Amino acid sequence: MRVLSALLALFLVAGCGGEPRDTASAAAPADPAVVQTAAGALRGTVADDHRLFAGIPYAAPPVGPLRWQDPEPAPPWEGVREATAFGPRCMQDLNGDIELGRQTDEDCLSLNVWTPPVPEDGDDAPKPVMVWIHGGSFVAGSGGIYDSRRLASRGDIVVVTVNYRLGALGFLAHPALGPPGAVGNYGLADQQAALRWVRDNIADFGGDPAKVTIAGESAGGMSVCDHLVAPGSEGLFGAAVVMSGPCQAQLALPAAQERSIAYAADVGCADPASAAECLRGLPANRLRTPVWYYGIGEDQLSGPVTGTAALPTDPVAAFGDGTAARVPVLMGTTRDEWTLFVALQRIRDGRDYTPEEYPQLLTGTFGPDAAAVAERYPLSAFPDVALAYAATVTDGVLACAGERWARELAREESVYFYEFNDRNAPAPDPLKALPFPVGASHSLELRYLFDVGGASPPDPAQVELGEQMVDYWSAFVKTGKPGGGWSVVGDGVMSLQPDGSRMIDDFGATHQCGFWDGLQ
């Protein structure tokens, strides 16, 4: 099964950001705003319900000779470094920018630490840690979008949000950039460097380095799938959360190298003998455009590359043969995943899909299975071509695939599977003006865990669902179990709804998983 064209950037709105700066001021040892790390002291911000240390460098700037190299340790600093503003986003295409023009820079490898308040009773028991890997198709986004104060305060956990290299700067696999099999996956190596930073420093923030959960949504969820099988991630986490992760959308090394060579030629670095020097000498602005925009094919992400030293095994294959990391997993999807992408296509093109386009859409996504999919999902069963197509990709690429991976992982460890099913979830205004409903679409559940803004306020029932989800996620980070009446996958799916979340047994029937499993 081929995956539809690369996942578009998440339709979110970000807050402002900036670069940290150095200062020589000193602070009293008891000041909760000051933390001493291995590289130097940091001053963050303290509120009634949380602390935030923003823009912390976890690796050296990946510029000059370090472009397309694995990250090096961050250099130390003297005095107390201000950690009160988010660092710049990693380089990304600014067309259709979703973060209101916040600064981008090649020097972007920073992270943000959200903690509960320092307890007044002197209880210094370390808190479990969740490391959040942002989505955005590996071409957009940043850790600064995800305001984690509710997870830190209500959930009583430490949350770390991470920037990592994106697009061509993060995943170009040109063979001239390194030894055979050791190219690509620089963004994945950044995430591993951030996890090592957490291991070495999080105790200074009150976190427990022995109790780390990695979590992510969309491309972030796919990254978590990669860490479950990547040799360099072993031992850096003890549990995992995969939210709407297209874990099957990896690109094998031969195809990645072919596309990277074509990309290099397009930016003026066609000569194999000088390609590495030429590419490293280009201004970063010349490298904003992701590899997948260059028309060798439109059905793959600019992202992780399998068959490499960093990612030898395809995650889905490892799930099936039992060789993935044996850790508790919380995994799930949204009820109407793909409506976001047909909506963004409609907003971009200003027109609806026509019935005549339906077979072409299915062929482009499902290849030789397109006819069987068309018979199973006839246009007559849907009010709109866009919703018919969205249903096929929701069910076949994300919902049923995710539940199948969960069952495979559950052969080795406890796995919990959910479906976010608030079909009236708050959405950005452009999505509300469409001629079809987006329902519980891709990324809309994020507002129930993080304060990301950009949508109408939730109603009281949705606020309650958000509190419940924060409780579930933080319980999983603390114990490896979400609690609250969840059963492991195989005994049902947790349906997250504002009128009452509950275990359901009709997930497979709703998404026609018997049909999709039969196509594998």
d(CA 139, CA 161): 17
pLDDT at residue 102 in the model: 73
Q: What pTM did the predictor assign? A: 0.92
d(CA 450, CA 132): 11
d(CA 68, CA 87): 20
Residue type, 200: D
Residue 5 clears pLDDT 50, i.e. is over it:
no
- Same domain assignment for residues 309 and 343: no
Q: What is the CATH number of the domain that holds 495?
A: 3.40.50.1820
Report yes or no on 2 lying in a domain: no
- Same domain assignment for residues 251 and 140: yes
Report yes or no on 171 lying in a domain: yes
The residues near 110 (Cβ < 8 Å, ≥ 6 apart) are 20, 54, 55, 56, 57, 58, 86, 87, 143, 163
pLDDT at residue 99 in the model: 55
Is residue 442 among the annotated active site residues?
A: yes
Task: Please count the structural domains in the chain.
Answer: 2
- Same domain assignment for residues 264 and 383: no
Look up tokens 């972007």; give the residue. 108
Is residue 218 among the annotated active site residues?
A: yes
Residue 92 clears pLDDT 50, i.e. is over it:
yes
- Same domain assignment for residues 153 and 44: yes
- Same domain assignment for residues 373 and 465: yes
Report yes or no on 8 lying in a domain: no
Domain that holds residue 396: 336-519
Of 315, 349, 368, which marks where a domain is finished?
315
Average confidence (pLDDT) over 207-217: 98
- Same domain assignment for residues 297 and 389: no
- Same domain assignment for residues 99 and 236: yes
Largest CA distance in the chain: 70
Residue 502 clears pLDDT 70, i.e. is over it:
yes
- Higher-pLDDT residue of 122 and 115 is 115
Q: What residues form DSSP beta bridges with 485?
A: none
Where does the pLDDT of residue 94 fall: very low under 50, low under 70, confident under 90, or very high at 90 and above? confident
- Same domain assignment for residues 293 and 364: no
Report yes or no on 209 lying in a domain: yes
Is residue 414 among the annotated active site residues?
A: no
Residue 20 clears pLDDT 60, i.e. is over it:
no
Q: What angle do CA 176, 177, 183 make, to 5 degrees?
A: 110
Q: Which of 82, 337, 408, 445 is catalytic?
A: 337
**Both tokens assigned to 180:** 């055979």
Of 315, 347, 363, which marks where a domain is finished?
315
Where does the pLDDT of residue 297 fall: very low under 50, low under 70, confident under 90, or very high at 90 and above? very low
Strand pairing report for 207-217 and 127-133: parallel
Mean pLDDT of the chain: 91
- Same domain assignment for residues 267 and 359: no
Q: Which of 218, 233, 260, 441 is catalytic?
A: 218
Report yes or no on 323 lying in a domain: no
Conformation bin of residue 454: beta by default, left when phi > 0, alpha when psi is -120 to 50: left
CA 379 to chain centre: 32
Average confidence (pLDDT) over 214-233: 98
- Same domain assignment for residues 167 and 245: yes
Average confidence (pLDDT) over 168-197: 96
Q: What is the pLDDT of residues 308-322, one digit of tens each?
A: 999 999 999 999 999
- Same domain assignment for residues 309 and 344: no
- Same domain assignment for residues 340 and 305: no
